[in-house]
A and B are shown apart, each in its own frame.
Chain A
Amino acid sequence: MTTHATTLPVSAAAPHPGSLGNVLAIAKRELSGYFASPVAYIFIVIFLLLAGFFTFNVGGFFRRGEASLESFFVWHPWLYLFLVPAVGMRLWSEERRLGTIELLLTMPVTSWQAIVGKFLASWLFLAIALALTFPLVFTVGYLGSPDYGAIFCGYVGSFMLAGAYLAVSCMTSALTRNQVVSFILSVVFCLFLILAGWPPVTDMLVQWAKPWLVDFVAAFSVMPHFDSFRRGVVDSRDVIFFLSVITFSLFTTGVIIRSHRAG
């Protein structure tokens, strides 16, 4: 190897892109990582097949005889329960397994920028998968005259829900270098988010827990917040709920990563 005549004076004082530049660079890498492997395409195909199966076969899309996507959105909390952890499980566990976390975090990048960049990339990936369900919108538009506002709300709600699950997966993926463990933990946490406010569960809890405790647990549930989106209502409280779940999970991810480094 020989040293080269040209030198690049890069010093601490040199101009550099801000945090947004770093977030975008990390997000771009993460997203291209998804599409570099067949996993992304397999995931999208499975997502579309399952979404179609639940909507038409289980949800009885045609039997309902109404031009709405009710029977499509209603399954999303369950559909995402397995699919979102499958997308999120590798986020940090793979970095730890490969040792690239040591490269990433010794770059002039804050761990917060890395966490947000990786999260946004996978969220965008899920958004792409969700957007590919657009033929359904055309179908209901062809069959009748749907409330496009409600459909749009449903999509926003579904996107928010996916984001909340994904942030939880991001957190569990930071806990371990084993992707399978990360996946299982993530499914368990997400299941809690679904079941916490589910009437059969709350009814059971009421039998032997104080009402305030039941309310407290139920407050974690994504279901009531998702339901209002599904019904075509965008309430700022629901948006704030999902954004809080995301912020809290990503913040915890940061704490976990920091504690690993401290040893």
Chain B
Amino acid sequence: MIKVENLVKAFGPKVAVNGVSFGVERGEVLGFLGPNGAGKSTTMRMVTGFIPPTSGRVTVGGFDMDENPIPAKRLIGYLPENAPAYTDMTVHGFLHFTAELRGLRGEEKKKAVSRAVEMCFLESVVYQSVDTLSKGYRHRTCFAQSIIHDPEVLVLDEPTDGLDPNQKYEVRTLIREMGAKKAIIFSTHILEEVDAACTRAIIIDRGQIVANGTPQELRQRSDLAGAVMFSVQGTPAVTVNQKIQSLPTVRKSALLAGENPQVVAVRAFPQPNTRDSELEASLFELAVREHWKLTELKTEEGRLDEVFRRITLPDTKRSTKEETK
């Protein structure tokens, strides 16, 4: 449904988005991850046709955004960053207005508005002025606007920003459910949302895609992926570590500091050619052979935040790096 090819956006000398390409099909929820200023919003603004790209191409449902913007825009529902809405209108008036711009009239329009109101739990504020809404409700009002025409493509820029934990949970659930029938892109800098709602994630940093895959695939890029956590009770740490390191399946191991001095916790990393679960099995055999009292044995999946940190540069380091360029 969405196809983005070699998208570039330069603001004067500053290149905000630099050669981004990806595609999203119906039934997919693409998470757009990246630190602040990475170029997520700029990319979304180009996908939705708000700003023209410096170069590159966006097609939505087969319509080129540059040559044929109106049919392309008709397919999209968009929640911009910070959820803007007309403050001089009521929620009801605002949703009716957006429904009209979506080409809905009469009975159809009324149904669309009440469905959106219901889906976003806005019943209690329908006749309230947007001006007086709390941030969470304002956000949901703008969200309701984006789904009012039941679009085939949804582009959501930080849809959970400013919501409380319950609301965040609800929005994520809604995104996941709608993702079964739509093509959805949403941006976030909260990693747990990737697991909660995405079928695929892209990590973008300084305008470029640095990783693209399912959440599982991304996790495997973590150094921790495949390592085994191993804890025994009542055996000296040095002995345990030595024995583990002498195993042929272990590349290296690290003693971990724990709260209980009785318990020795070790993280063992596999040799590159070790197959899945082989390391775990050999550690289990070792514990049995040595009559150790095993309290924990678990293969790590890898952690997204670790991947994220490793492949994107923190804000603080970025400025110094750019200066030395």
Contact = CB atoms under 8 A, between A and B. Distances in A.
Contact of A3 (B74, B78, B119, B149): B119
A12 B62 CA distance: 11
B93 to A, nearest CB: 7
Interface in B202-256: none
A36 interface: yes
Given A3-B174, A9-B150, A10-B149, A107 B98 contact: yes
A23 to B, nearest CB: 11
A4 interface: yes
A16 interface: yes
Given A1-B173, A262-B52, A6 B115 contact: yes
A100 B85 contact: yes
A204 interface: no
A29 B111 contact: no
B46 to A, nearest CB: 10
B189 interface: no
Interface string A1-21: 111101111111011110001
A25 interface: yes
Interface residues of A, number: 40
Interface string B156-169: 00000000000000
A260 B195 CA distance: 37
A208 to B, nearest CB: 40
Contacts of B12: 263
A29 B105 CA distance: 15
B151 interface: yes
B91 interface: no
B151 A108 contact: no
Given A103-B78, A106-B49, A33 B150 contact: no
B106 to A, nearest CB: 11
A1 B120 contact: yes
A98 B50 CA distance: 15
B82 A99 contact: yes
B: interface residue count bin: 35 or more
Contacts of B149: 8, 10
Contacts of B70: 108-110
A68 interface: no
A10 B103 contact: yes
Interface string B168-191: 001101100110000000000000
Contact of B152 (A3, A11, A98, A261): A11
A206 interface: no
A8 B11 contact: no
B104 A10 contact: yes
B88 interface: yes
A4 B114 CA distance: 11
A149 to B, nearest CB: 40
Contact of B86 (A22, A25, A33): A33
A263 B51 contact: yes
B45 interface: yes
A2 B119 contact: yes
Contacts of B58: none
A37 B80 CA distance: 26
A32 B73 contact: no
A12 B84 contact: no
B84 A99 contact: yes
Contact of A37 (B84, B88, B97, B174): B88
A105 interface: yes
B36 to A, nearest CB: 17
Nearest to A102: B80
B112 A8 contact: yes
A237 to B, nearest CB: 37
Contact of A261 (B50, B74, B80): B50
Contacts of A28: 97
Given A1-B121, A261-B51, A10 B102 contact: yes
A40 to B, nearest CB: 11
Interface centre among A26, A98, A99, A106, by most chain B C-beta atoms within 10 angstroms, is: A106
B165 to A, nearest CB: 14
Contacts of B84: 98-100, 102-103
A9 B97 CA distance: 19
A32 B93 contact: yes
Nearest to B170: A1
A3 to B, nearest CB: 5
B63 interface: yes
Contacts of B201: none
B57 interface: no
A149 B163 CA distance: 62
A225 B63 CA distance: 47
5 contacts: A12-B71, A17-B105, A98-B84, A103-B84, A109-B101
Across chains A and B, which 7 residue pairs bring their CB atoms closest together, nearest first? A99-B84, A16-B103, A25-B100, A12-B71, A108-B74, A1-B174, A10-B149
Given A12-B72, A103-B142, 13 more contacts: A3-B174, A3-B177, A10-B102, A11-B74, A14-B103, A100-B85, A102-B50, A106-B78, A106-B80, A107-B101, A108-B73, A109-B70, A110-B70
